Structure formats: structure tokens, C-alpha cells
Chain A
């Protein structure tokens, strides 16, 4: 129990089964000062907020992850359930508000009943009354309140009907608690035994029979004839609330069709992907241009000196590298949120559960893997919904193999090198091939890791897939947008600082020690001199020292230290590879960045052997490298946090980067062997 001091407000915790309208209620009650906090030492996330001031109740509300029972089934559930008894930051809640779908009352009251029996102060909020009303029934709140022994309020979250009643109940409850203190003692009951659960269900079924009443004032005769009519259609139908939503069943006939279901699935996925790339592109270009402009203006303003360079090449470019992916991440989460809200994502997870389970994953790995195509960081966070620890760790393990959006600029550049000007379609085809290749590659790697999982993942757990397929409904755009922004914020907070620090480090390594080199200025324009200085500075920098140190590793790939340095630079974020190449290969025409890199690449010679550096074979080799290598420090940091140690991230880096290196070695030399230079 939270001890109330004068300035401390009481705590109301919202709990409820998934799809019971809990988050809608939270959004309705919560004010602007919403915070998302981690439960200390775990990955369980909570949203907390003060109740909106206009409602006149001084209380903190806390939205917890959806649970169907207080008997925990996964480590995450255990944390959220334990926090009801004693939350390390907030203590135990003064009041628990449990949401229950009134059309699902026989299932959803389980949690309410368990919490009441445990001795918590409970208010039950009935949601989705419109669905029950469509079937001609409603819940007798007064009766239910009597039978449960707690307050019951019906609410329509979409239109905030019933909210005033709930507020009155909350206020008087909190007042009582303030006046008389907490009278009940809370018992920790787990209800893990079969008899306990069956007893509860029996009680609930009795309650259900008494509280579900028809809306219209039918006479008993009419009711009987109505029942008879319904009975013809469905002999088991007793009071009409037992049949799933008819529209949902009809839609599922198509979307979960035994053969066509997969076709619709691929259609929906294709649309999702195309939007991530094509809708986000103009926004990404805009951000890119904005930061180039900012960098240029600051550079002009401050002149040529180290702090101006730190600001432009380190900090501004670094921030740009973080923000440029924001549109893709926002759009991905927007689409995922919409798909989830309509009810389709659960079905997608069901469709792919079987093939994924073959390689040690779960249908619930599907959404995290999908997110991985935008960015591995939010994807790893999304893996928290997988209850089985081994499957969750394996999902996190292979997420870096999903072709994230940071690889795209690299592929675009490399493909441009391979594409003959007369065949522009070749580029698109190659890009699609790379994506398919990366999907197949990750399946094979996942299968291999699954084979050796005992050594790598070190966790055994019962694998299961139990998922409610929610009723199809129109998404609540406001909630989806709010959640997308929340996810985007998480990405910025987690990846931002690391990318920024790393791009400053790389700036430092490429700028020092010879930061003001002497160059021959005769006969060169001012712009050319600047480029010469840049190139000279780089070739005598710490970065080139490192590059020359790793030359022995690069030689077998028929590449030289300059590509090595760019690959090291790519550890800040993969697309840094492009700007590093630009910097290193003395790009002169900044206005036509891409074509001039291409030009410089075409004329570049391997410094050791003197042969052409960028050939079909080395370019394909580089693509293979980027498909497999884990070169993103932010991903490593998040992986460490999400898996609770360094073991998995270090294994990821070493395994993926060695696979990348070996396959690149085979590709380049193999291609050269069969005569493709």
C-alpha cells in the first residue's frame, strides 16, 4: 500500500485482458504529462499519467500490460503481476480499475474475480457494450456489482459515455480509502491449479446467467419464441452472446481462407513495405537536404577550423543520420498500429506460426521481424510480446539480419555502380533480389542457430501459441498516431545518443592528427583546394592508420584500406559508408554527390595491387557483406539491454560479421575464378 503524504497523489492501476479496451480508457483519463517508464531491471513498460485536471481527481494512473489472469505465464507477465502487489516505484495501487469486454464477460471476469478475491480495491469497467447491444442484450450493472461485491461502471470508450459515472465512483472510492485506510489485507493467490480455475469459471458462469438481460421489453412469450428462432440457427445459442461476431467470421472466410489467405497476407505485406519505402522517401530526402543545408550554412558562417568541422561533419551530420530514418519508423509503426487495431496482425501471426516454428521461432516473432525491415531497434523492443524466452531471444538474435533501412542507401549506391545506363530496370530487380536474398539468408541462419540453440540461446521453455483473434473493427486513428509517436521517441532516445557519439568519434579519427595539412595550391580553385585538404587530412589521419592496420584482412577480398575505413565508419550507422566513401575517394562535385562517387569509384585503383578497386565482383562482395554483417552499435546496445547481458550481442557481432566476411571472401574470389572480374 502506498503511503499517502500531503503532496503525493493516490495511485490507480489499470489492468485488463488484451482487447478489453484498457488502453482506450487510459487515453481517455490520462492528461498530457504521459510518461512511459520501464519497470526497474526489466523490459516491462508502463505508461503513467496524472488524471486530466478537468476531471477534478488528483490521482496518478498507471497503464500496465494486458494480462488475462494473475497466474503469470512469462517473465514479463510475472513482473507486471508482481508489481500489483508491490511496485518498486509506486508501491501497491490504492485502487485497481479492471476493464472487461461485456460481450466476453464469461472470459474477462476471470481477472476481476481473481483480483477481488485477492483483496484488492477493485472497480470493474465494462466496455464494448455496443457489441452486446447489437445482439439485443445488456449487462445489469447493479446486479453484477452485487454479485461481485465491487463497483461496476459501463463505459463507451469511443464516445466517452459513462465516463462521468466512472469519475464519481473513483472519487468516492478514493475518498473512502483516504478516510478509512485500506481495510482488506492482500493475499497472494496464484490460481495455477486446475480446480481453482474451474471453480472460478463456475462462479462466473453463474454470474453471467444472472446479469445478461435483453435490452427490449420483450414479454416472456416473445423471448421464448425469439430463443426458439435463434435455436433453429444454432442449437447451442442460449442467450445470444455465445457466437463470435458475424462480420468477423465473414471477413475471416477471405483473409484466413485456406489457400487465398496467404495471397492476401502477401498483398498486405507488399503494401506495407512499399509504403515504408516510397511514402517515406520524400520526407527522408527533405530531412537529408535540411541537414546538408544546415551543415553548409554553419560551415560558411564559422569558416574552416576544427570546431566548425566538429559542428558540421560531426554533430550536424550525426543528428541527420539519426533523424533521416524517423519517417520510415513513423510510417512503419503507423501501418503496424493500424493493422493491429483492425485485428489483422493477430491473424498474420497465426498464418506464419507454422513455418516460423520450424526454425525455432513463433508466430509472435512475425511483427518484430517485420519491424526489423525499418530498424532493428524498435524491432527488438517489439519482441517483448513473445512469451517464450527462448523464442524471444532467437527472434532478437536474427533481427539484425532483416534488411533495415540504413542499408538502403548503401545498396542504392552499389547497385548504381552495377547498373548499365541503358537498363535502368536492372537496379530495381537487383534491389528486390537483395531483399529476397537477405530473407532467405536470415531463414538459413535462424535454422542453423536453432540447431545449436542449446549453446547459443541457453534457455528452454515450453513453446506455445495461444492468441485471441480479435473482432475486426475500424482502427482508432488517434491512439495509433499517439503510439507511433511514442515508438519514434523511443527510437530517438535509444539510438540517438549512440549514433551521435559515434559519428563524433569517427569525425575525430578522420580529422586528427594532421588537421591542417599542406597542399599544393597552385592552379587549383578554392573548392578543389578544400577537397585536396580533406583528402590529404584523411590519408594521414588516425582512421587511415586503423585502415592500414586492417589491410591484411581486406587484401583477400581484393579491397584496400580505404574500403576498410568506410566499413569501420559504417559502425556508426550503415549509411555512413556512403559518406565515408565520398570523403575518401576525393569527391569533387558535391552537388552531384552520387554520380561523382560513382565516377571516383570507377577510376579508383587498389593501392596495393594497382588493379581496379571497384569491380563487379568486389561490389557484389560488398553487398553480401552488408546483408549479413552486424555493424550497428545502437543495435548492439539495445540487444544487450533486451537480452540482459553481453553474451548474445557479442555472439551476434562475431557470428554475423564472420559469416559476412567468409561469404564475401567466397563471393569475390568465386566470381573472379569463374571469370567475372
Chain B
């Protein structure tokens, strides 16, 4: 099972599901990370966390821990 936090820079993935046991899952969904959407890891902070993904035509920065609840196909 691959999650969004395991993407390499410039690598794309399609979202399969969001882990609803994660406390931030609601906000992750609301901001646009929904199953079927394609995401790309575009940037990261120098400390490799948070990560910036392109999703639905915008850039969203989330922590690595939160990227872990985004399960990819």
C-alpha cells in the first residue's frame, strides 16, 4: 500500500482512498484530496516535511504525517 508521502519529486499518483481513522482526514478531503484525483509531489520544505502537492489545479502543503493517510492506487 503506497501513500502520498512515499512519492518522489515530480512523481504522480492517483488517490485510491483516504484513511478515515486519521484525525485530519476531514480537512484533507475538504481541501480536495478525494479518491480518483491525481496528485503530484511538487515541493518540500528543506526538512523534507511538509510536502507540497499539486491537486485540482492548486498547491497544498501538508505534513508528511498527513500525507500518510492519502492512500494511492
Contacts and interface: CB of A to CB of B under 8 A. Distances in A.
Contact of A353 (B26, B42, B45, B57): B45
A468 B29 contact: no
A466 B29 contact: no
Given A68-B31, A252-B42, A469 B49 contact: no
9 contacts: A104-B58, A194-B26, A197-B26, A198-B29, A198-B34, A258-B44, A354-B47, A468-B61, A469-B60
B56 A104 contact: yes
Interface string B2-39: 00000000001000001010011111111110110010
B30 A469 contact: no
B43 A256 contact: yes
A69 interface: yes
B61 A350 contact: yes
Nearest to B28: A466
Contacts of A446: none
A106 B30 CA distance: 11
B45 to A, nearest CB: 5
Contacts of B56: 104, 106-107, 242
Contacts of A259: 46
A136 to B, nearest CB: 14
A613 B10 CA distance: 64
Interface of B is mostly: mixed
B34 to A, nearest CB: 5
Interface of B: 12, 18, 20, 23-32, 34-35, 38, 42-50, 52, 54, 56-63, 66
Interface in A251-275: 252, 256, 258-259, 261-262
B45 A350 contact: yes
Interface in A552-588: none
Q: 7 tightest A-B contacts by CB? A: A354-B47, A462-B23, A469-B59, A107-B32, A256-B43, A69-B30, A350-B61
A104 B46 contact: no
A236 interface: yes
Contacts of B12: 236
A244 B46 CA distance: 21
B29 A244 contact: no
A73 interface: yes
A103 B57 contact: yes
Contacts of B42: 244, 249, 252
Given A68-B31, A106-B32, A465-B63, A354 B57 contact: no
A338 B61 CA distance: 21
A354 B45 contact: yes
A243 interface: yes
B61 A465 contact: yes
Contacts of B45: 256, 261, 350-354
Contacts of B28: 466
Nearest to B47: A354
A18 to B, nearest CB: 10
Given A71-B30, A197-B26, A353 B18 contact: no
B26 A192 contact: yes
B30 to A, nearest CB: 4
B54 A107 contact: no
A236 B38 contact: yes
A85 to B, nearest CB: 19
Contacts of A107: 31-32, 56, 58
A521 interface: no
A262 B46 contact: yes
B54 A244 contact: yes
B73 to A, nearest CB: 13
A514 interface: no
A354 B30 CA distance: 23
